[in-house]
Amino acid sequence: MKTRLLRLSALIALAYGFGIPAAYAQSASKEISGAIHDAQGRPLQDAVVALKDATGNAVGSTKSDQQGYFAFSNIAPGSYAISVDKAAFQSESGTITVADEAGAAANITMKPTATGSVSANEAVVVRADRLDRARNGILVETGSSIYRIGPKEIAAMPQGEDTAFNEVLLRAPGVAQDSFGQLHVRGDHANLQYRLNGIILPESISGFGQTLDTRFVENVSVLTGALPAQYGYRTAGVVDIHTKTGEQVDGGDIGVQVGSNNTRQISGDVSGSTDRFSYYINGSFEANNLGIENPVGTSTALHDRTLQNKGFGYFSYMLDADTRVSLILGNSESRFQIPNSPGQTPGFQLDGVNSYPSADINERQTETNRYGILALQGKLGSDIDYQVAAFSRYSKVLFEPDQVGDLLYTGVASRVLRTGLANGLQADGSYRLNANHTLRAGINYTQERLKNSDDSLTFPADDSGAQLATQPISLSDSSQKTTSQAGIYLQDEWKLSDKVTLNYGARADWVNAYVTASQFSPRIGVVYQMTPQTTFHAGYAKYFTPPASELIGSNTIASFNGTTNASASSQNDPVRAESSDYFDLGVNHQLTQHLTLGLDGYYKKVKNMLDEGQFGSALLYTPFNYARARSMAWS
């Protein structure tokens, strides 16, 4: 690789007169810092910067970060040799002088090893990649436990991109799945936060279907442990998804899959880009005879058919080299038969019905989820990155009973409808104060309109619960509620040295739903790169977790008094927000390119711990509290 000599000391002198950013021109005393870019001004990450003294002895080595910046601290006055290397670029080297009272700064431009013309599509990719790196710079992961799943890992799975998204997430340590398909991270029930390209996706009403499709996922990171201040509300785990965008490939494909349980699946996608516009569109349809886990130990489930379709679209337009507007649209529709357990004995009597086998019960559930995200993302100079987004999500779950069968076997037949429309705003930004400090801040606000309807048939009963009549009575209960929540955070990423990074900050959250609550939550995390292969992390987080909004109203339990659906307890206290203190530490060691070992432990102290349970015949979840809890584990 050809080596070129740059007189960096002359470059430094020019910097003070001709506008190298003040954050670097006015460096702290006895510090060498700077920025590395390519010929188009794009920052270069992971360039290796080496520093030697006048005698040729190594002083230090570091890598440039996502913004192309690097720094050496505690440098004695004198002259030094500096060199920069990066794959696919020509090496750069030169001399640099540190004065007695000040440090030195350099702005280094690297040229590729081979040059050529750039097509319009390549230009789109270059600009998009630059903004992708800027967006990643807004997010921070310091102190948390991180597991990344990329295109190679997804392709290596037995079903590849046809793998259900929940099954993809099961590859992450500490993630488990229950019989209804819900995920649990480190023992928490649900409490997961999903993000698409850094934007929070409002949670849907609990159900069986999976709203997200693996096919549109470019890569995904699962964050657990002591999370930085920008992550709030759902904190058992953060699922950060980067979607496919269409800049890389023009064209499309169609796939067909068949399998056991009468599985039939067809999917397709199309993508492309022009000078400023890019798009990616995906759709799929699936049908099989095992929509929900079989409740009996037979090879074939009874009454367990499912039909599911999903659609996704990503559209992006470059306003200029530093600004991009993007639109994400998603839809999922799922229909489930509720599987039966044959051979059950009826527990109740219904007038005019002598026989109704449990194998013939016909319960069904339908789930609908639609979402949209409109985002503006860009850069202001070399130090400020931002993303502002508006989002909306509609969620609906309808449970339709078998009136005869449910009355005979459970004493109640309830048609349950729940809908929720959530709208909100989110803004995040980062400001590189200097080579060692990056400030990040953000706000979010969400308002949701909820409607719950329960139309039930049940039997009159005495105080002991014994059935008094064989003619059912009808009860209806409906409610509407508008809820809102808001949060704000501020944090600082402080590079204490080339090996140690500290991230500290705090967030404040407020929620107004069935209860009103708020909390101030400090966060701190540290990462120590002991060796190139070994990383240690530790952190503390104060968490605030409001309950999901699909709650049982205070009149629901009382309305069933004196029936076969009466509650065993009359207690119906409001569900409170969970508050917890979370401590986490761990170490990762990369044995080979393909094998990394990790050990992670945590301790969690919880007040008003949230859990979810199924109350009633509909297979829908409702949150409730435990007063206090503690948990700890190593994995």
Mean pLDDT over each residue of the chain, to the nearest integer: 84
**Burial class for 48, CB neighbours closer than 10 Å (0-12, 13-18, 19+):** middle
620 and 549 in contact (C-beta within 8 Å)? no
Q: Of the given ranges (287-291, 429-433, 597-601, 627-631), which has the lowest mean pLDDT?
A: 627-631
Q: Which two tokens stand for residue 166?
A: 């929940």
Give 288-342 pLDDT, tens digit per residue.
999 888 888 888 899 999 999 999 999 999 998 889 999 999 999 999 999 999 9
Cβ density class 355-389: b for 16+ within 10 Å, e for less: ebebeebebebbbbbbbbbbbebbbeebbebbbbb
175 and 191 in contact (C-beta within 8 Å)? no
- What percent of the chain is modeled with pLDDT above 70? 85
Q: Which two tokens stand for residue 81?
A: 């040799």
Phi-psi region for residue 25, left (φ > 0), alpha (ψ -120 to 50) or beta?
alpha
Q: Please say if the pLDDT value at position 7 is more than 50.
A: no
2 and 91 in contact (C-beta within 8 Å)? yes
Tell me what the mean pLDDT of segment 450-466 comes to.
91
- What percent of the chain is modeled with pLDDT above 90? 45
Tell me what the mean pLDDT of segment 197-203 comes to.
89
Quote the pLDDT of residue 142: 67
Quote the pLDDT of residue 273: 87
Intervals of CATH 2.60.40.10 along the chain: 3-110
Q: Please say if the pLDDT value at position 18 is more than 90.
A: no
- 115 vs 134, more confident: 134
Q: Please say if the pLDDT value at position 248 is more than 70.
A: no
pLDDT band at 143 (very low <50, low <70, confident <90, very high): low
Q: Which two tokens stand for residue 446?
A: 């969400």
Q: Please say if the pLDDT value at position 274 is more than 90.
A: no
Q: Please say if the pLDDT value at position 362 is more than 50.
A: yes
Q: Of the given ranges (86-100, 156-170, 239-253, 611-625), which has the lowest mean pLDDT?
A: 611-625
Give 372-381 pLDDT, tens digit per residue.
999 999 999 8
Tell me what the mean pLDDT of segment 361-374 comes to.
95
Per CATH, the number for 199-634 is: 2.40.170.20
pLDDT band at 592 (very low <50, low <70, confident <90, very high): confident
How far from 72 is each of 58, 101, 102, 183, CA to CA, in Å? 12, 16, 13, 44
Q: Please say if the pLDDT value at position 511 is more than 90.
A: yes
Intervals of CATH 2.40.170.20 along the chain: 199-634
The span from the CA of 278 to the CA of 128, in Å, is 10
The span from the CA of 492 to the CA of 501, in Å, is 10
pLDDT band at 14 (very low <50, low <70, confident <90, very high): very low
pLDDT band at 17 (very low <50, low <70, confident <90, very high): very low
Quote the pLDDT of residue 1: 38
Tell me what the mean pLDDT of segment 592-621 comes to.
78
pLDDT band at 548 (very low <50, low <70, confident <90, very high): confident
CATH number 2.60.40.10 is the correct assignment for the domain at 3-110? yes
